[in-house]
Amino acid sequence: MPFSDLRGQERTAALLGRFLAKGRIPSAMVFHGPEGVGKTMMALEFARALLCSERPMDPLGGCGACGPCASTAKRAHPDLRVIDSQYQATLREEDPAKQKTLRVDTLRHLRRDMELGSMLGSWKVAVIAAAHTMETAGASVLLKIIEEPPPKTLWILVASRKESLPATVRSRCFLVPFAPLPAAIIRDILLERGVEERQASTLSELCDGSASRALELHEAGLPAPMLDPFDAPEGLPRELYLARAKVELSLFCLEQSLRLKIRSGGVGYRLAAPVLRSIDRLRRDLRANADPATILTLAHLETENL
């Protein structure tokens, strides 16, 4: 799928298409916007447009059929690096789940690799997922190469919060914004994944424009039917970290449902505001290691009459 076909991000695709049409690619870009709206997918598709051997630099994207296009789609092109928790875990011989930050050593390793330039004589592209988790010292490592980039190298930093990137890095990158996805598009994505129609409609409204969040809620069996608050924890997983993750999602659901009710006029803002504040407080308590079952009960008690 060429990047120009990525649903819900037509404006961003048009902007990227102009870089290709002009043949002027910035050495570093930040793709920023909410989680689960297609930033990494777009980054990979943009890389494919650069690496495609049949229609290189086509403003609509790679041909999708040549060898380089096929290997880019599999993230296996020799001139493409995708830096995510898996990449760092392999480098450090650690568990992927333990990679909470983007380590400065990972960036050093990547920089040396990028300095070698393209193996096939075309472009070399690094896509850094969750770039906003970069360690502070990573900024100077990146700056050195962004400021004097080897020819035909591109860095794409993918970040859900561009404010979390060091300002020095941000100011030297071309910022490419991504919007939340419209509910209708998310609904279609869910239907294609086999989610039942009513559930797809509900989730597409609840998920705040994030397709990955909608899928996450679906997998967790949310939104849950309204239960007695004291029965709500019954379906929680026994492992604490899984229970915590599910309660975090449940809080998100309760909060979003309330916001939708406010928007549709079903609940007055003055009545809802203190409940929203309580949910926020419960979320902070949960993250500070409070018991997930208790938090879930308290959250249901807060919202049961609204």
In the DSSP assignment, the letter for residue 79 is T
Q: Please tell me the distance from the alpha carbon of residue 59 to that of residue 24, in angstroms, as a whole number.
A: 12
CB of 64 to Zn ion, least distance (A): 6
CB of 52 to Zn ion, least distance (A): 3
Give whichever of 80 and 183 is closer to Zn ion, judged by the CB atom: 80
Give whichever of 50 and 173 is closer to Zn ion, judged by the CB atom: 50
Q: Please tell me the distance from the alpha carbon of residue 172 to that of residue 155, in angstroms, as a whole number.
A: 11
CB of 258 to Zn ion, least distance (A): 47
CB of 62 to Zn ion, least distance (A): 4
Q: Kindly state the helix (H) or strand (E) to which residue 159 belongs, with its residue range.
A: strand 153-159
Residue 166: CA count within 13 A, CB half-sphere:
14
Give whichever of 58 and 188 is closer to Zn ion, judged by the CB atom: 58
Supply 22's token pair.
């002009």
CB of 56 to Zn ion, least distance (A): 8
CB of 49 to Zn ion, least distance (A): 9
Residues that bind Zn ion (CB under 5 A): 52, 54, 62-63, 66, 69
Supply 186's token pair.
């998310």
140 to 17, 131, 146, 158, 225: CA distances (angstroms): 30, 14, 10, 18, 50
Q: Please tell me the distance from the alpha carbon of residue 182 to that of residue 221, in angstroms, as a whole number.
A: 22
CB of 45 to Zn ion, least distance (A): 11
Give whichever of 16 and 142 is closer to Zn ion, judged by the CB atom: 16
Give whichever of 45 and 255 is closer to Zn ion, judged by the CB atom: 45
Residue 226: CA count within 13 A, CB half-sphere:
8
**Beta-bridge partner residues of 82:** 127
Give whichever of 66 and 224 is closer to Zn ion, judged by the CB atom: 66
Supply 49's token pair.
């447009």
Pairing of β 80-83 and β 28-32 = unpaired
Q: Please tell me the distance from the alpha carbon of residue 1 to that of residue 18, in angstroms, as a whole number.
A: 18
Return the closest-CA partner of residue 12 out of 27, 34, 23. 34
CB of 21 to Zn ion, least distance (A): 17
Q: Are 296 and 247 in contact, with CB atoms under 8 Å apart?
A: yes
Return the closest-CA partner of residue 99 out of 109, 89, 87, 108. 89
